[in-house]
Amino acid sequence: MPEGNRWPGSAPRASFAEILCGLMALVAVLFSSGHAGAEEGGLKLYNGAGQSLGYAPQLHTDVAIKVSGMLARVRVQQRFQNPSDAWVEGVYVFPLPEDAAVDRLRMLYAERLIEGEIQERQQAEKSYAAAKARGQGASLMEQQRANVFTTSVANIPPGDSVQVEIEYQQKLHWRDGEMALRFPMVVGPRYIPGEPLVTEGGGFSAQGWAADTDQVPDASQITPPVALSPPDHLNPIRIRVELNSGIELMGIDSPFHPIDVEQIGPGRYAVVSKDGSVPAERDFELRWRPVLSQQPSAALFTETRRDRHYALLMLMPPQPERAPDPVARELVLVVDTSGSMHGDSIEQARAALLQALQRLRPIDRFNIIQFNSGFDALFPQARPADIAHLRQARRYVNGLQADGGTEMLPALRYALEDPRPSGLLRQIVFLTDGAVGNEQALFEAIVRHLGDGRLFTVGIGSAPNALFMNGAARFGRGTFTYIGATDEVEAKVSALFDQLGSPLLTGLRLHWQSDNGPFSLSQTPERLPDLYAGEPLVVAIAADTAPQRVEIEGMLGDRPWRHQASLAGGVPGVGVHALWARHRIEDWMASGVTGESADKVREAVLELALEHHLVSRFTSLVAIDKTPARPQDSLLYKGVVPTRLPAGWSAAKVFGQLPRTATPAPLLALIGLVSLLIAAWARWTRV
């Protein structure tokens, strides 16, 4: 939308008829796509007479990832190109890994490189707004969720481009003898429950297709417009990975994107996307497996910063000497059958459920719950896993269809509550893409209703919401498994059921030791999770003295277990401090779910983020060019960069069946425009 107090091309005092024509033309433009938030082929800019000014900024993204051991340093270059003949502000909502420690922003504007600085979020927004109004080049990076960010770039010159560089640190994930790197590429449309909020501005945000609601008050910030039938060149991403494993590998694989791999030295590889740029419509994943003789049993990375010692430790627990005795369990399988699960996702979910039913034993009990706009349970309560009940369950699973909204909370509460405890080990397995906006309420429900149960999440589809999947598993004391293709179902579900048998290590505690006397130490996570087969223990610490040893204490099955590990000889790793701070921030945000006061959480997160130069819920990075570029008499137009629909999703199923998420934006836009019309008429009649 244009800034200033008049539409472009209008005289200082237009006639009431001209105002009326301009507003009605804009109404027609807003309603022309047929789907709220959905644009055919891209997002266009319009003036008050309904004339096209060209497309919103086109975006090209280059991703360079350097991997050393289990650490990754990622640089994301976003090039905003303005194809129109007007001055434009570009806004792009995009995903990053939910545990990314974002610590750098740089902007290349008019051949000048400007380094970003960390500021409290409100101050950063003010700095950016002031620079935008003065016609200066400026860039602002904000966190909307731990895995959803917004880049805003002000005053992109006509026919020119501005480049923004973002850098972050990330730890990799080790599981079942395999290391994995994941780079998310698309923010999928999310179901937004609740009633729209009415604000002074009419409740309409030009950035998002959904109105803010009482349950998701920032909905407009996490629902970027979606391009339907997008051209191939919309939001292309080029990925390059420099992999320094340090050891011999059995193989490197990218299951969802074709890649070219070149070995450039012992344990060093260059990986690029095979076809150059790829569309931003599904997550990129890279996996590599060391040869068996070189699989690590421990890894330690250290860093000293401002006289403080930081360390990241990964330790593989021992394998049990014998398989645990079978434990009878009550298994509750919860499956998402909302519209976003249409197509490949519901097929994967059905296959996973059938595989899970096949792994049940006669000593187990089970139930199946599906949810979309409402929820439905196969049985009123769990039933024995006998032939008759399993046959009934298979018929139920084969009949599952994806349609409707994603009202997850009622189904989650129903699954967690156990009105008639059976005394069995209770495990809830959630199969979903996690396409919801009310994650906080879901986490609170898990904490409140989990009891002695365990919650495991299975991510389905091309771009699951990893913030929800990992968070739910963390609060549910379970694990997160990702299934990105139907041919992965059997192996992934089998591995999950091996974990469900029983935790490998429980009640874990760490005792850090130093030969230099007493010392202070901060560990994250503070409360260690149960460890399941194939998973390592990963902790980060900050201390005023580097400890020499750590003793791990817990229960291995039904017997006490102790293990001592030396902390000598760690590999120096730049950015370990940022990972520690990022995970401490995660701990504090989680404490808000478990009852800590909002003011205390904000104060602690703000202190950590400012000290370690990190983007957080309460801090942002802002870069400002000191030289004004846009003439003050030239208006500035906002162009929100549209995203693609995740691969395999159906626009008709998502937007056509989610009335609360699909209709508020145009309705509220109309309300806002009518308000403008009335105000203009009132002003005209007074003159």
Q: What pLDDT does 328 receive? A: 87
Q: What is the third-level CATH fold of 329-500? A: Rossmann fold (3.40.50)
Smallest Cα–Cα separation from 226: which of 29, 93, 47?
A: 93
User: What are the sequence ranges of the domains in the chain?
Assistant: 1-32+189-223+657-687, 329-500
Q: Taking residues 215-240, what's their average pLDDT?
A: 88
More confident call, 18 vs 194: 194
Range of lowest pLDDT (170-174, 205-209, 535-539): 205-209
Helical H segments across 283-386, by residue range? 344-358
User: What is the spatial distance between Cα 471 and Cα 477, in angstroms, rounded to a whole number?
Assistant: 10
Q: Residue 294 — pLDDT band, cuts 50, 70, 90?
A: confident
pLDDT surpasses 90 at 275: no
Number of H helices, E strands in the chain: 13, 38
Range of lowest pLDDT (110-124, 501-515, 535-549): 501-515
Q: What pLDDT does 229 receive? A: 78
Q: What pLDDT does 629 receive? A: 95
Smallest Cα–Cα separation from 61: which of 227, 243, 185?
A: 185
Ranges 78-87, 607-616, 671-680, most confident: 607-616
Secondary structure class of 139 (helix, strand, coil): strand
User: What does the block give as tokens for 237?
Assistant: 């991403």
pLDDT surpasses 70 at 358: yes
Q: What pLDDT does 17 receive? A: 41
User: What is the spatial distance between Cα 87 and Cα 160, in angstroms, rounded to a whole number?
Assistant: 10
User: What is the spatial distance between Cα 615 and Cα 621, in angstroms, rounded to a whole number?
Assistant: 6
Burial class (CB in 10 A: 0-12, 13-18, 19+), 596: middle
More confident call, 498 vs 587: 587
pLDDT surpasses 70 at 24: no
Helical H segments across 69-150, by residue range? 121-133
Q: Residue 678 — pLDDT band, cuts 50, 70, 90?
A: very low
**Mean pLDDT rounded to a whole number for the chain:** 85
User: What is the spatial distance between Cα 82 and Cα 68, in angstroms, rounded to a whole number?
Assistant: 37
Instruction: Report the percentage of the chain scoring pLDDT > 70.
Output: 85
Q: Taking residues 255-261, what's their average pLDDT?
A: 95
User: What does the block give as tokens for 526?
Assistant: 């503070």
User: What is the spatial distance between Cα 500 and Cα 498, in angstroms, rounded to a whole number?
Assistant: 6
Task: Find out whether the peptide bond into 572 is cis, omega within 30 degrees of 0.
Answer: no
Smallest Cα–Cα separation from 369: which of 417, 298, 438?
A: 417
What are the contacts of 570-573 at 24+ separation with CB within 8 A? Answer: 570/300, 570/301, 570/302, 570/311, 571/68, 571/69, 571/299, 571/300, 571/301, 571/302, 572/301, 572/302, 572/303, 573/68, 573/69, 573/71, 573/301, 573/302, 573/303, 573/312
Q: Taking residues 461-469, what's their average pLDDT?
A: 93
Smallest Cα–Cα separation from 615: which of 211, 262, 180, 169?
A: 169
Q: What pLDDT does 35 receive? A: 37
Q: Taking residues 344-370, what's their average pLDDT?
A: 94
What letter represents residue 412's amino acid?
L
pLDDT in tens, 434-448: 999 999 999 999 999
pLDDT surpasses 70 at 44: no
User: What is the spatial distance between Cα 33 and Cα 74, in angstroms, rounded to a whole number?
Assistant: 37
Q: What pLDDT does 47 receive? A: 54
Ranges 6-20, 257-271, 320-334, most confident: 257-271
**Helix 576-593 and helix 466-475, axial crossing angle in degrees, nearest 10:** 70
Burial class (CB in 10 A: 0-12, 13-18, 19+), 253: middle
* Bridge partner list, 571: 301
Q: Are 155 and 110 in contact (CB under 8 A)?
A: no
H/E element, 580: helix 576-593
More confident call, 390 vs 15: 390
- Expressed in percent and rounded to 5, the helix, strand and coil fractions of the chain are 25, 35, 35
What letter represents residue 99's amino acid?
D
H/E element, 174: strand 173-175
619-628 vs 136-145, strand pairing mode: antiparallel
Q: What pLDDT does 53 receive? A: 62
**Contacts (Cβ under 8 Å, ≥6 apart) of 240:** 62, 63, 64, 65, 270, 271, 272, 273
326 to each of 292, 374, 498, how far by Cα in Å? 28, 35, 11
Q: How many CB atoms are closer than 10 A to CB 513?
A: 12
Q: What pLDDT does 658 receive? A: 43
Q: What pLDDT does 200 receive? A: 54
Torsion of Cα atoms, 600 then 603 then 604 then 610, to 10°: 170
Q: Are 369 and 333 in contact (CB under 8 A)?
A: yes
User: What does the block give as tokens for 434?
Assistant: 């996690």
Q: Are 226 and 435 in contact (CB under 8 A)?
A: no
More confident call, 506 vs 658: 506
Q: What pLDDT does 211 receive? A: 87
Q: What pLDDT does 141 receive? A: 97
pLDDT in tens, 407-436: 999 999 999 987 777 788 899 999 999 999
Residue found by looking up tokens 């005209």 in the block = 684
**Contacts (Cβ under 8 Å, ≥6 apart) of 547:** 512, 513, 514, 519, 521, 541, 567
Q: What pLDDT does 422 receive? A: 77
**Beta strand residue intervals within 464-597, DSSP E:** 480-483, 505-513, 521-524, 537-543, 549-556, 559-566, 571-572
Q: Taking residues 274-299, what's their average pLDDT?
A: 89
User: What is the spatial distance between Cα 288 and Cα 387, in angstroms, rounded to a whole number?
Assistant: 40
Q: What pLDDT does 247 receive? A: 82
More confident call, 308 vs 26: 308
Q: What pLDDT does 56 receive? A: 74
pLDDT in tens, 478-498: 999 999 888 899 899 988 988
